[in-house]
Structure 1
Amino acid sequence: MSKRVWVKADWSAPWEERKKFITSALEAGAEAVIVPREDVEKTRKLGNIKIISKSEESDFFFLEASSVEEVEEAISKSRKQEKKTVLSIKISGKKLEKAAIKAGNYIDFLIVISQDWKVIPLENLIAELQEAKTNLIAGVKNAQEAKTAVETLEVGADGVLLNSEEEGFEEIRKTCEILEELKHEKFELSPGKITKIKPVGMGDRVCIDTTSLMKIGEGMLVGSQSHGLFLIHSESLKSEYVEPRPFRVNAGAVHAYIRTPGGRTKYLSELESGDRVLIVNSEGEASEATVGRVKIERRPLLLVEAEYEDRKIKTLLQNAETINLINKNGAPVSISDLEVEDEVLVHLQEGGRHFGAQVEETLLEK
C-alpha cells in the first residue's frame, strides 16, 4: 500500500531557504507541504503539490494542538470546515495520546509528533485508530525514522510528515525513495507448461506505453482468467523488424485482466493515461509505473494456453514475433518460437474478481 510523504516547510526561516525544501518535495514526488498562510500563492507557482496551511486558500486546513483543551477546540473547528482538515498534535503524555485517539474519529488527517521520537506511542495510536476515519501521519526527522513509522506493527502509519530542517532538504529525496521501495510487491511465479497455441482470427489488442523504461526480464502480468496470469515481456528486446520500445508491453486482447497495485486487476480496455500498473520481473519482484498512453488496434490474435498442477490458464496475444513470454529460466521467448511442452512463467491465485478486487468465491472461467 502507498504511504504518504508530506514535508514540513513552515518554520521561521526566509522564504528562499524554505523554498529549497518545497522544490525538493516537488522533485522527489512528495504529496503535500505544510507552509505558512502567506506562502500559499508562492508555493502554488512552484508546481502542482497539495498545500496544507491555516489559510482558507489551501487544499487542506491546518490545525495544531499541544494540550487536551486545544485538541477539543480543533475538533470543534474541524466540524465547521468544508475542506479536509489536518490536525498536528505534539504527544507529551498519555492524556494527549487519548485525546489524539478521540480526534481520529473526526479529523481527516492526524499528525502525531513526539519531541523525542518513540515507537510505543505510535504503536498505541496505530492499534486504536485502525477503524477510525482519520489517516495517521507520523512526524519524523529523517528517512530511517520514516521507514520505522510506516512499518510499525506491520500495518504502519498511513504516511509521514518529514521535518528535515536539521538534516537538510536532501533528506526529502531519501525519504521518498525509501517509502517507494516499500511499495514493491512480490509475486510467486510458477513454470506453466504450454498445452495449446492456436490462431483465433482478428481482434482488438492493447499496447501499454508507460513512463518507465523496462529492462530485459521485465513485463506485466496479464491473462484471460482471474485465477492465472502470464508474465508478458516488454518490448525491450532488439529486433530486425522494429526498434526496441522498452517503455511498452504489447499486453494482448482488450478483454484480458492486468494486475495493478494494491492487489487489484483491471481489464486492458479500461486502462488510460495516468493509471498505475505493475512492472514485474522474472523473480516476481514488482514495482509501480504510470501509464502514459494506451494503443488499441485491430490485429491477428493467438490463443496461448498453459497448465500448472492441473490448472489451465489462457490468454490471447497479438500474433507477431515481437511478442514475448518469459521462460522458466527467466529468458524471453517469442510466441513465434513457442511450442507445446515449453514452460513459461505464470502467476496463479485463488478466488475470483469483483470490480477488480479479489474475492473468495467458487468461480469457473473457460
Structure 2
Amino acid sequence: MNASVQEQPFPFQPASRLSAIGVSEILKITGLAIELKRQGRDVIVLGAGEPDFGTPDHVKEAAKRAMEAGDTKYTALDGTPELKAAIRAKFKRENGLDFAQDEITVSAGAKQVLFNAMMATLEVNDEVIIPTPYWVSYGDIVQIMGGKPVLVPCREANGFRLTAEDLVRAITPRTRWVMLNSPSNPSGAAYSEAGYRPILDVLMDHPHVWLMVDDIYEHIIYDGFRFVTPAAIEPSLRDRTLTINGVSKAYAMTGWRIGYAGGPRTLIRAMAVVQSQSTSCPSSISQAAAIAALNGPTEIVMERCRSFQARRDLVVSALNEMEGISCRIPEGAFYTFANCAGLIGRTTPDGEPINSDTDFTEYLLHSVGVAVVPGAAFGLASYFRISYATSALELEEACRRIALATSRLS
C-alpha cells in the first residue's frame, strides 16, 4: 500500500442529524467556569440545575440494603414491579392519576423518558410545539429524531406562560406534540389549574395533538402555590398525555439517574422497544433507592423547599435593586430568570459593548467571576438564568459581585 495513502486517513464525519445540535450551553459555561477555578480564579458557578443538598439518608440506606441482598442484576426492561407500584401509588396519592402497571415506564433519568417518547413517535418533519424559554434539551432531542421544534415565545407579561391564542396559531396538521414544563426550567413559572384550562381546551379541539408534560420540579413550589398536572384536570386528554417526572430534583438524586412517566399503554409499549435497544433497564440499585424516596417521608422535601424559597427571595430582592435589571418572582423550581434588557447598549470598563445577554453573562464571568446562563440559550434573549441551588453565603457574594459589575457599565 502506498505510504502517502496510509498517512492520510479518511476524516471523521459526524452524522448529518447532529449538524444543528451542539453541547448544551449550560454545560459549556459550567465547564469554562470550572476550568477558570482550576487555574486559580475565584469563580462562583450558578449555572447547574442541581440541588446542593445530599440524597436523604433513608434513600442511601435502601440502596445499601439492595446491594447487600444481591439485587445487582438486570431488572425488568422499563422498571421493577416494585418501583412501578411505588410510582403508581405516587401518581394516585399526589396527582389523582390512576395508571395500570403497563402504563408506567422507568428510564435512566427523565431525559431518557423524553428521548424514548420522541424516538417512538416522531416521523421526519413532524412538529413539536415548545414554549420558550425552554430547557435546551427539548428542542435538540426533537431535531435528533428528524422532527421540527416549533418555538413559541412566552412573554414575561404573561408570566412566561403559553397562551391559548399563541398555541392555536402554532398548531398545524404536522403537529404531533405540545411540551409543557411546570414549574419551568429556566423561568420558574408554573401553571395553575385556571392557567392550564384554556390550553387544554385548545388541545381538546385538536385530537391529533398529544401532550407531553414535564413535572420534574413538582415538589419545589412556593407561597402556597398548588401544583396540578393536566391529565388530572382534563381526564379526556389522559389517553394522549405523557406525564413525566423523576427523583432527581425533589430528592437530590441527580446522579442516580431515575426518571419515570405514566401514559397510554400503546405509547409506553413503543417506548419500551426504544429502551430495549439503548440502555435496557435502569440501574437496579438506583431503582431500589427510588422506591424508598417515593414511599418515604416527605418532611425533608418540604424542609428543603423552604430553604430554596428563602434563597429565591434573597436573589430576587438583590436583582431588583440593581439598575438595568428586573426579575419576576418565580412560582417554583430553583431558578430566577432576570431581565437585563436595560443593560444592552452599555459599555464595559474595557470599552467592550454589551450587545446581548450573552455579552453580559461573559462580562460577569470574566470581570467578577460569576457564571450564569444567558437567556438566548433557552430561546428567549435579554434575560439570564441564575440557579440558586447553592448556599445563601455564595448567593449573597454572587449578587454583590453582579451589582458591582453592573455599576461599572457606562
The TM-score range, normalised by the shorter chain, is: under 0.3
The structure with higher relative contact order (CA 8 Å, sep 6+) is 2
More strand by share: 1
Higher Cα Rg: structure 1 or 2?
A: 1
* TM-score normalised according to structure 1 size: 0.25
